[in-house]
Amino acid sequence: MNQPDILDELSKIDLSKYKGVMQAVVIVIVLCFAAYTSVFTVDPEEKAVVLKFGKEDRIVGQGLHFKLPFFMEQEYKVPVQRQLKLEFGFRTAGNETRQQYAQTQYSGGGYAAESLMLTGDLNVASIEWVTQYKIADPVKYLFKVRNVDQTFRDMNEAVMREIVGDRTINEVLTIGRGEIQNLAMEKLSALCKEYTLGIVVSQVILQDVSPPEPVKPAFNEVNQAEQEKETTIQNALAEYNREIPKAEGTALKTVEAAEGYAVKRVNEAKGAVSRFTQVYEEYQKAPGITRQRIYLETMAEIYQAVDRKIIIDEDVNGVLPLLNLNQGR
């Protein structure tokens, strides 16, 4: 049968007999499509913003919901309960499927533009960080800013480069990490509020801060030298703190001994002056008796200090037998 014969056969079919069936099929299709476009579900961690004829109408939470069919109302779901994150300088393997414990794949050549930053002392640092955030206002997140995710990413890079550019390479790599994280979080929160992104920044975490790979060996040598310098300084300070108190104690002891000796000598001099004054007063009263008493006292002191004593008669002109006064003791 050729093509003209087929067309002739089809022309002989009476379509009026199937009109009711065709209408019923069309109605069923329309009803199914209406039902399909009038029902939607929202997950527990989401909220949905419903637009009626392109204008915000309501916000609904989790569960089964109904809307006007034929796209007269459209819903936009936003994960308001989910902790979201942006990664800079690296990407986490499996991040697209939101795996909780995924192996971290650190930045290669593809992410160097994000991680390399110029510090305040004109050095270059490679900084990898994570910004954790939540969507607080679904309406602002969806409709206030065009391409809010890219805008928020650009804000992160701008804030981090500004903060790093105000610090030296040593501050960035060592003591300044905590301050950088806190300051970045404050600045991002203020910008999100200013630009009405509907985002709340939860945390900024510096994942890795290091010098660029080409200069890392040289930087490590410099860092090692700095650590040795600090160690030497600390050892010197420890020696200083150990020796200075000892020297101060010795000096204080010497000063106290000198002061004691000075007091002793002064008291002895005062005593000698007092005794001399008393003797002089007695001498003025009775010079002869005083001289005799002084002579006898002096001789008594001399005799007490001498072990052997020899007495010679002044009237003897020849050889005088010696009288040993110590004999028999």
Domains: count for the chain: 2
Give the structural domain span for 37. Answer: 13-78
- Indicate if 58 and 89 belong to the same structural domain: no
Helix ranges (DSSP H) in 216-327: 216-285, 287-305
Instruction: State the pairing for strand pair 84-88/39-42.
Output: unpaired
Indicate the length of the chain as a whole number. 329
Which of 37, 61, 78 marks a domain boundary? 78
- Indicate if 20 and 120 belong to the same structural domain: no
The phi and psi torsions of 125 (rounded to 5 degrees) equal -125, 145
Task: Assign residue 37 a region (left: φ > 0; alpha: ψ between -120 and 50; beta: otherwise).
Answer: alpha
Task: Give the rounded distance of the alpha carbon of 76 from its chain centre.
Answer: 41
Which of 31, 62, 78 marks a domain boundary? 78
- Indicate if 109 and 191 belong to the same structural domain: yes
Which of 211, 244, 269 marks a domain boundary? 211
* pTM tops 0.75: no
We report the CATH number of the domain holding residue 89 as 3.30.479.30
What does DSSP assign to residue 173? H
- Indicate if 170 and 127 belong to the same structural domain: yes
Q: Round to whole Å and give the CA distance between 201 and 186.
A: 9
User: What are the pLDDT tens digits along the chain (329 aa)?
Assistant: 555 566 566 566 655 666 677 778 788 888 888 888 889 999 999 999 999 988 889 999 999 998 988 888 999 999 999 999 999 999 887 554 334 434 454 544 578 888 999 999 988 899 999 999 999 999 999 999 999 999 999 999 999 999 999 999 888 988 888 999 999 999 999 999 999 999 999 999 999 888 887 877 877 787 788 888 989 999 999 998 888 888 888 888 898 889 889 888 888 888 888 888 887 777 777 777 777 877 787 877 777 777 766 666 666 555 545 555 455 54
